[in-house]
Amino acid sequence: MKLGLLYHMPFWQTADGALWEAEGSFARYVDSLAPYFDEILLAVPVFDVPPASGSRVRAPNVRIAPLPYFPGPRQFYPRLLSIYWRLRAWARACDVLHLRVPTPAGVFAYSIGKRLRKPIFLLVVGDYQGLLPHLPYRGLKRLLFTAYVAFEEFTLSRMTRGALTFVNGAALRAKHERDGARVFETRTTTLSREDVAVRGDTCLGRRVRLLTVSRIDPRKGLRTLPAAVAALVARGHDVTIDIVGATIGQIGEEEQAAIVASAQQLGVADRVTLTGAIPLDRLMQSYRDYDVFVLPTRPGEGIPRVLMEAMAAGLPVITTNVSGIGSLVEHERNGILIEESHADAIVAAVSRVIQDAALRQRLIAGGSQTARTHTLEHQASEMLRVVQRELHVPLLSPEPS
């Protein structure tokens, strides 16, 4: 049984045939599915110039059906004709199609698969409609992006009603059930069993190291972080924050510049560091060098996988109660939920975690327990059990590890 897997996360291939992905989360997802299929054929964009480092796909039964590199819809649509014919050849070569959406190529792959009568299952990982109000577009650019989001919403609704659908978290489930789809809830993750660390406490040194892991774009609420750091310092807390993640296109570059400018203006430039992206295998180890994890994200996604990564590393988690996050984070048990992405709310939550050892230790223990129940192995097993039952496709039984 050959699985065709589509997403927009770019890859590259080295001379020895190895497949690499810059961020690493999708590479791990591919590896988690590989034991259930004879072969996986990835329809993904390929970097014009590969980055210096990344995460390797470890499964030996994964190949690539390369698409032209497109960092977003603006680069995708001028190449649509070429991409369409590549998608058609890819779909013909596969027995079952798995589309991770939203993605610009999703509806075209879906339409091709339907015409070829291929079994299809979706995984919905984000919500463009939810993020739209939080993007700083103006004028014609906003009108164009609003039209694109409307198109994506229309096509996604059509796809979820016509294919077996999994969604990342309760908020996306509620949304797509309202649209008339029958959906199954899951929680996307990057964790393997060996990633879950044993840790009793943090914040034990003079300096408290905060960590945020996120793509740099406006929906993540990262502009609030310099003000939060400045206010914490004013309260007498010796804190720093590292923001780990890549910029996404021009809007990401503008967001990064705004964060740097805010840190300089507030006098905390030496305490706010934007590190850029770190490959996931190395990142999983570096989580353990920090004391508190902060993600002030806004609506527009399912459940950020970085929350589970932080829990697995034994970090107390502070995040906003938006999208599907409340179906993973239980307030004061495995994390602190704040109601809005605002510096004052972040300051209050971080101060509590620093000052209240009992709360901090409870969050660490609860997060560790949550991480153990949300591993890649568990997610893949649960998803593919449903795929086998609903689509009647024969899957391999992975060898127990």
pLDDT in tens, 317-365: 999 998 889 889 999 999 999 998 999 999 999 999 999 999 999 999 9
pLDDT classification of 77: cutoffs 50, 70, 90: very high
Whether residue 72 is predicted with pLDDT greater than 90 in this model: the reply is: no
* Same structural domain, 257 and 282: yes
Local structure of 320: helix, strand or coil: strand
Q: Residue 9 has what pLDDT?
A: 93
* Same structural domain, 165 and 274: no
* Same structural domain, 232 and 353: yes
- Please indicate, yes or no, if residue 396 is contained in any of the structural domains: no
- Please indicate, yes or no, if residue 110 is contained in any of the structural domains: yes
* Same structural domain, 224 and 95: no
- Please indicate, yes or no, if residue 400 is contained in any of the structural domains: no
Residue found by looking up tokens 């039952």 in the block: 389
Q: Do 318 and 338 form a contact (C-beta atoms < 8 A)? A: yes
- Please indicate, yes or no, if residue 399 is contained in any of the structural domains: no
pTM for this model (two decimals):
0.80
* Position 196, amino acid: V
- Please indicate, yes or no, if residue 273 is contained in any of the structural domains: yes
Six token digits for residue 123: 């995984």
* Same structural domain, 233 and 212: yes
* Same structural domain, 139 and 219: no
- Please indicate, yes or no, if residue 398 is contained in any of the structural domains: no
Q: Which residues contact 303 (CB under 8 A, 6 or more apart)?
A: 168, 169, 187, 188, 323, 324, 325, 327, 328
* Position 387, amino acid: V
Domain encompassing residue 340: 193-372
**Distances, alpha carbon 104 to alpha carbons 152, 155, 218, 323, in Å:** 8, 10, 20, 22
Q: Do 193 and 368 form a contact (C-beta atoms < 8 A)? A: no
- Please indicate, yes or no, if residue 63 is contained in any of the structural domains: yes
* Same structural domain, 173 and 48: yes
DSSP conformation letters of 359-371: HHHHHHHHHHHHH
pLDDT classification of 297: cutoffs 50, 70, 90: very high
* Same structural domain, 277 and 382: no
Whether residue 175 is predicted with pLDDT greater than 80 in this model: the reply is: yes
Q: Output the CA torsion sign for 293, 304, 196, 311.
A: positive
CA–CA dist 189, 292 (Å, integer): 20
Q: What share of the chain is helix, strand, coil (3-state, %, to 5)?
A: 45, 20, 35
* Same structural domain, 67 and 121: yes
* Same structural domain, 172 and 202: no
Domain of residue 145, CATH code: 3.40.50.2000
Whether residue 250 is predicted with pLDDT greater than 90 in this model: the reply is: no
* Same structural domain, 82 and 132: yes
- Please indicate, yes or no, if residue 332 is contained in any of the structural domains: yes
Which is more confidently placed, 140 or 351?
351
Q: By mean pLDDT, which of 23-32, 105-114, 351-360 is the weakest?
A: 23-32
How many domains in the chain?
2
